[in-house]
Chains A and B, each alone.
Chain A
Amino acid sequence: MIYRSHVLVCNGTGCVSSKSPDLMAKMEELLVANGIENEVKIIKTGCFGLCEKGPILVIYPEGATYCNVSVDDIEEIVNEHLVKGRIVKRLLLGDKEAEDVSKSRDNVGFFAKQKRIALRNCGVINPENIEEYIAHDGYLALAKAVTEMTPAEVIAEITKSGLRGRGGAGFPVGRKWQFAAQEVSDQKYVCCNADEGDPGAFMDRSILEGDPHSVIEAMAIAGYAIGANQGYIYVRAEYPIAVERLNIAIKQAHEYGLLGKNIFNTDFSFNLELRLGAGAFVCGEETALMTSIEGNRGEPRTRPPFPAVKGLWGKPTLLNNVETYANIPVILLKGADWFSSIGTEKSKGTKVFAIGGKIHNTGLVEIPMGTTLREVVYDIGGGIPNGKKFKAAQTGGPSGGCIPADHLDIPIDYDNLLEIGSMMGSGGMIIMDEDTCMVDIAKFFLEFTVDESCGKCPPCRIGTKRMLEILDRITQGKGEEGDIEKLEALAESINKGALCGLGQTAPNPVLSTLKFFRDEYEAHVKDKKCPAGVCTALLNYVIIADKCKGCSLCARKCPVNAISGEVKKPYVIDQDKCIKCGVCMESCKFAAIEKK
């Protein structure tokens, strides 16, 4: 059936949370009421990226992008746009008066500086329909690989592209494929790491939700390149929408003969299965992931042997991240030279970041490597809300570190980030403003690692716990002289002694905040003050003179007689006597007592 209009409705997790399914239901109802249900097709797509302005929908052929759409707006969109062909200007994203509505969002900084390779199909196609993927050159790269190229040629092309792993460490992808290919074995496996453990990030999830076939196609290509006929996708059980779309996609790929036996009538066969994680961060580490697929406690093991030699069930195994795979089909189609023309000298292509925290445009962005942090925060992210000052960006999650304001002009790539003590990580980027306490953030990440440490090796199990105790003490105002040095010493031994990446990198958030914000630590330890006003134990109760009526109630309630003054004049709290019980603040009828 030919439709005159297509309505793309974002069904990424962010927009689903802000009720995009209700919009679709309402629209369907109104299409029927207007008798145009055979003329207009509603399509669910993956994430458009600008989650802040969700729910978002795009109507073609005009290419009008509507944002912050509510159920009540649907009637207007149907009556005006779909029935009468008049754009609903007030809902347009960006320039509401744009002559060509499809360009209204072009000047929106959020989109202007992005380059979408891994996310090329997200928000463009219906992820539950393989034909739409095929219509966007889907499975063409697989066809080219298995019918026109030898496995060695495929690997050579990937190597030449300069693509590095997007899961965190940035290992060259071609090299990894080469290692797995050169092993001789009766059985090899291809795995996809979709465990996305960084607690503030959702890039992989959006790719799986928005374009699952790109990962499936790439895994089949990888299988052909290294000589594997079986693949596993290890995906977090907390991602129900991604799991559902992957299941649909795998089934469809089988029906179309793009998975299974004799793909494109060649000798190459490839099957794919899903395995669900069960909520353990360490299972994102490659050896732990494989132990988990085998059905065991997901504890890591020492390397070497590397998975390429001895991986899943003791067989040579290739493991890459979701975003890494999503790049593969495009590289084969457009060529290594095209890909390596994007990015910096040692980091090619683009990187997807999930930007969150204290920033206007939270969402998903894909930028060429080498884009500066300033461009990301101000041009794409729209700056810091409420007129606050930018303090730091945190990348690399619990293994990473923070980038302070003096480094805003740093071009983002693997090596630059490592050099200043952070890391690319999988792509979480949390923006912090002046109200964020860096000691508290370090403690937050350490709590995370202590919680997620699998307990196998003592440096990580015991060491991180000791570090957390010290941080706890510091934020409670009980920090002692020498605590900072103890943190540094512990950090070094954990880094050297831990078994896997989880432990080795666990001290990074502390080291990096110490490097750039040591004065904040010192303020906590020496002056017992939290400059950002976050650590409650370090805050003082103060009477705001302007608001105090001098009723003396607080002075009478104070159990340690720390409050004094003359009736009808502002009272004051003697900070040396105050035990911070908070009774005064509760008793004040004029909200004249604040914690500062």
Chain B
Amino acid sequence: MSCTGCCADNKLKELEKIIEKYKDIRGALIPVLHEAQELYGYLPLSVQKKIAEGLNIPLSEVYGVVTFYTQFSLNPKGKYKISVCLGTACYVKGAGEIYDKISEILNIKSGECTPDGLFSLDACRCIGACGLAPVITINEDVHGRLTVDDVPGIIQKYIDKEKEAKDQEKLVEA
């Protein structure tokens, strides 16, 4: 099915609602950015412009805040967001090697996304599961007590899952 642009319109309306909700409170920018990112998945320039207008602050200031905080992303994230914990507890248990392995397999670096949009990779700090170190999260799933050898299998699982979903779709279409 081809996109008719209706979802873009809907998102814009949502964004306007978010801005309206926070417009009058002090320190509104960061909460608005959080919600906008939830809506769009990232913060493209067009969204930043809209927020700047809505909150009546210079675009440069919005951009300044977006680039200061690592949570805010200027680039889209993958369908499966991989975060490798590089907190101290995970690091001493070899998280660095896990990160390298994932980076090698997917051929992307931290903050990047695979060309097919399936995976993005980020390094994060302690997620509070040090007992399971070293830990990675893929969207909401936590994978703990990993070794480098576990990595290819885990990634393959998500690729397979995607393939199954695609095949299913094709079947339905046919």
Report whether A278 and B92 are in contact in the complex, using a CB–CB cutoff of 8 Å: no
Decide if A313 is an interface residue (CB 8 Å cutoff): yes
Report whether B65 and A356 are in contact in the complex, using a CB–CB cutoff of 8 Å: no
Report whether A13 and B125 are in contact in the complex, using a CB–CB cutoff of 8 Å: no
Report whether A295 and B65 are in contact in the complex, using a CB–CB cutoff of 8 Å: yes
Decide if B142 is an interface residue (CB 8 Å cutoff): yes
Report whether A279 and B128 are in contact in the complex, using a CB–CB cutoff of 8 Å: no
Interface string of A197-208 (1 = CB under 8 A from B): 111111001100
Chain B residues proximal to chain A, CB less than 8 Å: 26-31, 33-34, 61, 64-65, 68-72, 86-93, 124-133, 135, 142, 144
Decide if A505 is an interface residue (CB 8 Å cutoff): no
Given contacts A51-B129, A275-B31, contact A280 B92 (CB under 8 A): no
B130 touches which one: A16, A197, A292, A354 (CB < 8 A)? A354
Decide if A176 is an interface residue (CB 8 Å cutoff): no
Residues of B within 8 A of A198 (CB): 88, 126
Report whether B68 and A298 are in contact in the complex, using a CB–CB cutoff of 8 Å: yes
Report whether B27 and A13 are in contact in the complex, using a CB–CB cutoff of 8 Å: no
B65 touches which one: A201, A202, A296 (CB < 8 A)? A296
Minimum CB–CB distance from B157 to chain A (whole Å) comes to: 16
Decide if A441 is an interface residue (CB 8 Å cutoff): yes
Residues of B within 8 A of A357 (CB): 88-89, 92-93, 130, 133
B89 touches which one: A17, A205, A239, A430 (CB < 8 A)? A430
Report whether B130 and A362 are in contact in the complex, using a CB–CB cutoff of 8 Å: yes
> 26 A-B Cβ contacts within 8 A?
A14-B129, A17-B142, A18-B131, A18-B132, A51-B130, A52-B131, A199-B86, A199-B88, A200-B126, A200-B130, A206-B128, A237-B34, A238-B124, A239-B128, A276-B34, A278-B34, A279-B69, A280-B69, A280-B70, A293-B27, A294-B26, A297-B65, A298-B68, A354-B89, A358-B92, A394-B88
Decide if A12 is an interface residue (CB 8 Å cutoff): yes
Decide if A416 is an interface residue (CB 8 Å cutoff): no
Given contacts A51-B131, A278-B71, contact A200 B34 (CB under 8 A): no
A297 touches which one: B64, B127, B135 (CB < 8 A)? B64
Give A255 to B93 CA distance when docked, in angstroms.
46
Which interface class (under 10, 10 to 19, 20 to 34, 35 or more) fits A? Answer: 35 or more
Decide if A165 is an interface residue (CB 8 Å cutoff): no
Report whether B88 and A295 are in contact in the complex, using a CB–CB cutoff of 8 Å: no
Given contacts A52-B131, A199-B86, A362-B133, contact A17 B26 (CB under 8 A): no
Report whether A14 and B70 are in contact in the complex, using a CB–CB cutoff of 8 Å: no
Minimum CB–CB distance from A361 to chain B (whole Å) comes to: 9
Give A239 to B71 CA distance when docked, in angstroms.
12
Minimum CB–CB distance from A394 to chain B (whole Å) comes to: 7
Give A198 to B144 CA distance when docked, in angstroms.
20
Name which of B61, B87, B93 has the most chain A CB atoms within 10 A of its CB.
B87
Name which of B65, B124, B128 has the most chain A CB atoms within 10 A of its CB.
B128
Give A356 to B93 CA distance when docked, in angstroms.
10
Chain A residues proximal to chain B, CB less than 8 Å: 12-14, 16-18, 51-52, 54, 197-202, 205-206, 237-239, 275-281, 292-298, 313, 354, 356-358, 362-363, 394, 397, 428, 430, 432, 436, 441, 444-445, 454
Give A401 to B120 CA distance when docked, in angstroms.
34
Name which of B26, B71, B89, B131 has the most chain A CB atoms within 10 A of its CB.
B131
13 extra A-B contacts, CB within 8 A, seeds A279-B69, A432-B92? A200-B91, A206-B128, A238-B125, A278-B33, A278-B69, A295-B29, A295-B30, A356-B92, A356-B130, A357-B88, A357-B130, A358-B92, A428-B88
Given contacts A199-B86, A358-B93, contact A17 B132 (CB under 8 A): yes
Report whether B131 and A14 are in contact in the complex, using a CB–CB cutoff of 8 Å: yes
Residues of B within 8 A of A275 (CB): 27, 30-31
Minimum CB–CB distance from A196 to chain B (whole Å) comes to: 8
Report whether A280 and B68 are in contact in the complex, using a CB–CB cutoff of 8 Å: yes
Given contacts A276-B30, A295-B30, A297-B65, contact A202 B132 (CB under 8 A): no
Report whether B130 and A17 are in contact in the complex, using a CB–CB cutoff of 8 Å: no
- Give B142's nearest chain A residue, CB to CB: A17
Residues of A within 8 A of B124 (CB): 238
Give A441 to B93 CA distance when docked, in angstroms.
12
Minimum CB–CB distance from B61 to chain A (whole Å) comes to: 8
Report whether B129 and A13 are in contact in the complex, using a CB–CB cutoff of 8 Å: yes
A-B contact count (CB 8 A): 130
Residues of A within 8 A of B89 (CB): 200, 354, 356-357, 362, 430
Given contacts A278-B33, A293-B27, contact A430 B128 (CB under 8 A): no
- Give A242's nearest chain B residue, CB to CB: B128
Give A356 to B132 CA distance when docked, in angstroms.
10
Report whether A279 and B132 are in contact in the complex, using a CB–CB cutoff of 8 Å: no
Minimum CB–CB distance from B111 to chain A (whole Å) comes to: 12
- Give A202's nearest chain B residue, CB to CB: B128
A279 touches which one: B28, B70, B126 (CB < 8 A)? B70
Give A491 to B20 CA distance when docked, in angstroms.
48
Report whether A362 and B68 are in contact in the complex, using a CB–CB cutoff of 8 Å: no
Name which of B27, B72, B88 has the most chain A CB atoms within 10 A of its CB.
B88
Give A238 to B93 CA distance when docked, in angstroms.
22
Name which of B27, B89, B93, B144 has the most chain A CB atoms within 10 A of its CB.
B89
Residues of A within 8 A of B130 (CB): 14, 51, 200, 202, 354, 356-357, 362
Report whether B68 and A363 are in contact in the complex, using a CB–CB cutoff of 8 Å: no
Minimum CB–CB distance from A203 to chain B (whole Å) comes to: 10
Minimum CB–CB distance from B125 to chain A (whole Å) comes to: 4
Report whether B88 and A444 are in contact in the complex, using a CB–CB cutoff of 8 Å: yes
Residues of A within 8 A of B29 (CB): 295-296
Report whether A436 and B92 are in contact in the complex, using a CB–CB cutoff of 8 Å: yes
Name which of B64, B126, B135 has the most chain A CB atoms within 10 A of its CB.
B126
A295 touches which one: B26, B71, B132, B142 (CB < 8 A)? B26
Give A199 to B142 CA distance when docked, in angstroms.
18
Residues of B within 8 A of A432 (CB): 92
Give A281 to B71 CA distance when docked, in angstroms.
11
Report whether B31 and A276 are in contact in the complex, using a CB–CB cutoff of 8 Å: yes
Residues of B within 8 A of A18 (CB): 131-132, 144
In order of increasing CB-CB distance, the 10 nearest A-B pairs are: A356-B89, A200-B88, A51-B131, A278-B69, A356-B130, A202-B128, A295-B27, A13-B128, A17-B142, A279-B71
Report whether A17 and B28 are in contact in the complex, using a CB–CB cutoff of 8 Å: no
Give A14 to B135 CA distance when docked, in angstroms.
11
Residues of B within 8 A of A297 (CB): 64-65, 68
Report whether A17 and B129 are in contact in the complex, using a CB–CB cutoff of 8 Å: yes
Residues of A within 8 A of B33 (CB): 278
- Give A200's nearest chain B residue, CB to CB: B88
Residues of A within 8 A of B68 (CB): 280, 297-298, 454
Minimum CB–CB distance from B152 to chain A (whole Å) comes to: 18
Given contacts A356-B89, A357-B88, A430-B92, contact A362 B69 (CB under 8 A): no
Given contacts A13-B128, A14-B129, A279-B71, contact A295 B92 (CB under 8 A): no
Residues of B within 8 A of A397 (CB): 88
Give A294 to B65 CA distance when docked, in angstroms.
11
Residues of B within 8 A of A444 (CB): 88, 91
Minimum CB–CB distance from A453 to chain B (whole Å) comes to: 12
